[in-house]
Amino acid sequence: MTAVQPALQTQVGGSLDAAAGLVGGAFGAFVTTLVVGAILVAVAPEYLERMMADVREEPVGSFVYGLVCLLLVLLVTVVLVITVIGVLFAIPFALVAVLVWAVGAAIAYLVIAEQLVSREDGWGKPLLVAAALNGALALTGVGGLVSFCVGAAGFGAVLRDRLD
């Protein structure tokens, strides 16, 4: 019986750690989408409208562009880290990429939220729905793949706007 207890405690502890990780990730996704979306609404509403229209009009093209750009970002970051001196450039480069991803994901989730709830009363409901969708998808684990695809579409729209 004593040999079973440590194994059981490890399995239960591992499950609790995984559950805590999922809940933490879901909360982070919720807050990030809510905050970044609110900043976009307050600071750059015209830009937000334009990027939402891009994602709405070309979701597949935005997704493919975002996926290719993400792979390039990962490749460039790895190459910079390998060169040792490039670490000084890799860290800010990766941070900018994460920020652009957050902006793109918020935009893409707002496109989905706008299809579910109207914004006749303002941006409050769509912001909450977008954040809840991102958080809920992150919470499920499997929904992480869907969340990634939505984020890639927004990421692609933002980068295509800047790079084209």
pLDDT of residue 22: 75
Q: What stretches of the chain adopt beta strand conformation (E)?
A: none
Q: Which residue has the tokens 């070309």?
A: 58
As a whole number, mean pLDDT of residues 144-152 equals: 92
Nearest alpha-carbon partner for 110 in 96, 92, 90, 131: 131
Contacts of 38 (CB under 8 A, 6+ apart): 123, 127
As a whole number, mean pLDDT of residues 137-164 equals: 90
Q: What is the pLDDT of residues 84-105, one digit of tens each?
A: 889 999 999 999 999 999 999 9
The terminus-to-terminus CA distance of the chain in angstroms comes to: 66
Nearest alpha-carbon partner for 33 in 157, 140, 147, 163: 147
As a whole number, mean pLDDT of residues 117-137 equals: 92
